[in-house]
Structure 1
Amino acid sequence: MRSTTRSASSSDSSERCPCGLPAPYPRCCGRLHDGSATAARPEELMRSRYSAFVRRDEAYLLRTWHPETRPASIDFAPSLRWLGLTVLSSSDGGTFGTEGTVEFRARYRDANGPGELHENSRFTRDEGRWVYVDGAISD
């Protein structure tokens, strides 16, 4: 995912979180982005990663990407703007699960107009923390 909105350093305590949950950003994904909390479930990590794409927080995205599939950097397309997220399903293997999936749709607008990314993402635990492994794009 790529974005063109505000930087990760800008936040207002009343700003709604980009992930779609009703909590303000600092109490939702902001606490994951700043390192004061870690994701308890794959869906929480996926929502925080979506918010990080919206906010162009490359450091967080790389930190939460599995080392075996992590790119060297992230290319944020200047014309792309993320507009909304819908989580369709998620699984985390239960309390002691080590693998999980999240299917989602993320709406965007770019130079070609509106679009939608439909992905089934895979997550695993790495050193006790959930990390993104990869995703299969669907139509």
Structure 2
Amino acid sequence: MSPRACPCGTGEPYAECCGLYHSGTRTAPTAEALMRSRFSAFAVGDVPYLLASWHPSTRPRDLDLDPRQRFTTLEIVGRSGGTALHTAGTVEFRAHYRVAGTSDVLHENSRFVREDGRWLYVSPVD
């Protein structure tokens, strides 16, 4: 039996990809890696990781995920900045999901910042 593929779409096993970020073994090295790990956290229902990777200035107090919602595919549309040489960046993405048998997509251009060596999700770009 093969290891479970990571929901983020890299083709890597979850345990060797976003699972490393979710467990705290590693921190995401780029804004895109954080975006992918957050998509995977939505897919596997890892609310503590989602909250921990959200900037404190915009983070909600709690987060209730809809158990009927299944995230299926992530498309990275574009990116700006967000590398190890930057302190800010954006990642435009499409997150495909299904709810009660109906497919839909969330399209967002997200803003990220790197503080104390950690990338954090801030908000959609206005």
Q: Do both share a fold (TM > 0.5)?
A: yes
Is the 2:41–2:50 Cα contact (8 Å) retained in structure 1?
A: yes
Any idea what the Cα deviations from partners look like across 1:30-77, whole Å, max 9, x if unmatched?
Answer: 000000100110000000000000011011111100010001111111
Aligned residue among 23, 26, 37 for 1:34: 23
Q: Tell me if the contact between 1:19 and 1:48 (Cα under 8 Å) persists in the aligned partners.
A: yes
Closer, same or farther in 2 for the Cα pair 1:101/1:113, shift >3 Å?
A: same
Q: Pick the aligned partner of 2:88 from 92, 99, 115.
A: 99
Give the Å deviation of 1:112. 6.9
Deviation at 1:93, TM superposition (A): 5.1
Cα 1:81–1:94, aligned 2, differ >3 Å: closer, same or farther?
closer
Q: Which runs of 5+ in 1 are unaligned?
A: 1-11
CA distance in 1: counterparts of 2:120 and 2:113, whole angstroms: 6
2:30–2:84: 8 Å Cα contact kept in structure 1?
no
Contact 1:42 1:91 in 2 (8 A): no
Counterpart residue number, 1:15: 4
- Evaluate the alpha carbon distance shift between residue 112 and residue 13 of structure 1 in structure 2; reply closer, same or farther with a 3 A threshold: closer
Matched, 1:67 2:56: yes
Q: Where does residue 40 of structure 2 map in the other structure?
A: 51
Letter of the 1:46 partner, please give it. M
Q: Is the 8 A contact 1:106 1:117 kept in 2?
A: yes
Classify the secondary structure of the residue corresponding to 1:38: coil
2:123 maps to what in 1? 134
Counterpart position of 1:4 = none
